[in-house]
Each structure stands twice: as C-alpha cells, then as structure tokens.
C-alpha cells in the first residue's frame, strides 16, 4: 500500500470507529482499470439527486459533487438508480461503487455498510397546509386526535412512533403519498427532512413548514460504500474532507438551498 493510501486509511478509520476492514484496493483499482465510476443515486431526492420531470435532467448537490469525484479519478461517471431501501443490496451486489445521495447514518445501515465522515445533517421537520387550523406550531403536533404521516420504511417511522405520546402516527405506503393524504385531509401533518421540505416550499403554494422548537432528531448524512475495502473508504473520506476545505461542498450546497445543513 502506498504512503498516501496508508494516510488516507488512517484518516478514514479515525472517524467514528466504524470497525475494522480488510485492506484491499479492489474498488479503486477496478474503477481506474475500467475507467468508470458507478454511483448509486435516488433520482427523486430534491436538491440532492433529482431528475426534473420536465427536462429529465439530473441535478442536485450530489450530482454536482459526484462529477467532481469522477474528474479527480479521471474516469467516466455512470449513475445507477437506487433508493434507501435498495441501497444495501445494490452496494453489496456491486451494482455501484458508492452511494451518493445524502444517506442517513443509521445503526442498521452501519451494520451492513461503511460511511465517510458526514457532509450534511438534517433535523425532522413538519409539513402541513396553510389552511390547516389543527396544527399551527410544533407544540400542536403531539396532541390527541392529530394524525401524523410518515413514509413507511424510513427512519422517521420508528422515531416518530417512539417520540409521539398522544397523536397517531400513520405510515404511508406507495402508491399513496404523504402529500396526497395531507391534501385529502386524511392526515393533519407529515414529517420530512430539510431537503424534501425545500421541494415542497419551492413548488407547492399550499405547503407550510413547521420547524421544531429545539433539536428533535438530527441525523448526519454521508456517502456509503460496501465493507471490505479500506482504501476505497479512505479515498472517499478524504474526498469529503477535501471538498469541505476547498469550498466545493459549500458552493454546491448553496446552489440547491442546502447551505443551512452543511457539516463544516
């Protein structure tokens, strides 16, 4: 292993105590040999990795930063459509080399994957309608009779189920959406993160954002790789450190209204 790779490895393993990994340069060597970097994205994540329904073009902070990564590696960039539920099998099945779509660092994901240092973080926010008279402020959410929608399968489902004492948590499964349930009056409010709240505030004139009065459940977001290749993890961790130092992270975040959730 080169001196540079060793330094990167030590820097990576120093963050967060994620456990030991076998020292192998398999992913990085293959990327350079094949000339292709495969990046898993979720194309419905507004401001992060979002495909415009009008232009069908991808945009967002991690589209911009993944392009920076491919430039540094001097390879072609290939996107692999994934999701939060599909990411673990996609990475373990080697469909992609890295997940780059603001992936929440959750214990159940840490059991299966390895993460870089965080680059964004978000609390939980509430969305209701401007005309809703039941929920006007954060203190109104956890009251008897209030129906709180969460996306089924997301980390918000167990968090809200545990934290809510009087209201009722409603888990929404596709093809239904939280927005449709709210607009139909079947729920009073739904919970989301900062990036998704920007999508609604930018595009829905009926939406009203309610911020928590104090930090409620702040989650760090990072890039994810499969375990077993410490040098690739170290390379990605060093990439995150570098874009923080040189301003590329801050610039990309500002481009998509995400400046307030940058981890510096």
Structure tokens at 25: 């340069």
Domains annotated for the chain, with CATH where assigned, are 3-121+219-261 (3.40.190.10), 124-210 (3.40.190.10)
Q: CA–CA separation, 230 vs 178, rounded Å?
A: 39
Q: CA–CA separation, 134 vs 141, rounded Å?
A: 8
Across 191-204, average pLDDT: 91
* 3-class secondary structure per residue, the chain: CCHHHHHHHHHHHHCCCCCCCCCCCHHHHHHHHHCEEEEEECCEECCCEEECCCCCCEECHHHHHHHHHHHHHCCEEEEEECCCCCHHHHHHCCCCCEEEEEEECCHHHHCCCEECCCCEEECCEEEEECCCCCCCCHHHCCCCCCEEEEECCCCHHHHHHHHCCCCEEEEECCCCCHHHHHHCCCCCEEEECHHHHHHHHHHCCCEEEECCCCCCCCEEEEEEECCCCHHHHHHHHHHHHHHHHCCHHHHHHHHCCCHHHECC
Tokens 């998704």 sit at which residue?
A: 196
Given a cut of 90, is residue 9 above it in pLDDT?
no
Q: CA–CA separation, 42 vs 93, rounded Å?
A: 17
Given a cut of 60, is residue 215 above it in pLDDT?
yes
Given a cut of 50, is residue 235 above it in pLDDT?
yes
Least confident of 2-16, 37-51, 165-179: 2-16
Structure tokens at 173: 């499964």
Amino acid 1: pLDDT: 42
The per-residue pLDDT of the chain, averaged, comes to 91
Given a cut of 90, is residue 125 above it in pLDDT?
yes
Structure tokens at 206: 């009926």
Structure tokens at 204: 């829905």
What burial class does residue 57 get, using C-beta atoms within 10 Å of its C-beta: 0-12 exposed, 13-18 middle, 19+ buried? exposed
pLDDT, one tens digit per residue, over 23-45 is 456 999 999 999 999 999 999 99
Given a cut of 60, is residue 18 above it in pLDDT?
no
Amino acid 162: pLDDT: 96
Amino acid 66: pLDDT: 98
pLDDT, one tens digit per residue, over 58-88 is 999 999 999 999 999 999 999 999 999 899 9
Across 243-254, average pLDDT: 98
Amino acid 153: pLDDT: 81
Across 235-259, average pLDDT: 97
């Amino acid at each position: 292993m080169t001196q540079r790779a060793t330094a990167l490895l030590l820097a990576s393993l120093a963050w967060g105590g994620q456990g030991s990994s076998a020292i192998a340069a398999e992913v990085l060597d293959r990327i350079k040999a094949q000339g292709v970097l495969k990046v898993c994205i979720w194309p419905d994540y507004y401001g992060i990795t979002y495909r415009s329904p009008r232009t069908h073009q991808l945009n967002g902070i991690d589209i911009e930063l993944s392009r920076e990564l491919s430039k540094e590696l001097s390879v072609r960039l290939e996107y692999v459509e994934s999701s939060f539920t599909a990411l673990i099998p996609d990475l373990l099945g080697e469909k992609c080399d890295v997940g780059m779509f603001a992936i929440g660092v959750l214990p159940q994901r840490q059991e299966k994957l390895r993460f870089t240092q965080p680059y964004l973080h978000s609390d939980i926010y509430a969305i209701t309608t401007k005309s809703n008279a039941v929920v006007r402020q954060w203190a109104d959410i956890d009251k008897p009779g209030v129906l709180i929608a969460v996306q089924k399968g997301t980390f918000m489902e167990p968090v809200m189920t545990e934290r809510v004492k009087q209201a009722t948590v409603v888990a929404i499964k596709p093809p239904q959406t939280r927005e449709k349930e709210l607009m139909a009056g079947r729920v009073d409010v739904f919970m989301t993160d900062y990036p998704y709240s920007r999508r609604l505030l930018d595009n829905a004139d009926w939406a009203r954002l309610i911020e928590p009065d104090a930090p409620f459940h702040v989650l760090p977001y990072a890039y994810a790789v499969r375990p077993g290749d410490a040098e690739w993890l170290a390379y990605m961790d060093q990439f995150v450190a570098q874009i923080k130092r040189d301003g590329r992270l801050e610039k990309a975040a500002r481009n998509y209204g995400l400046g307030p959730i940058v981890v510096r």
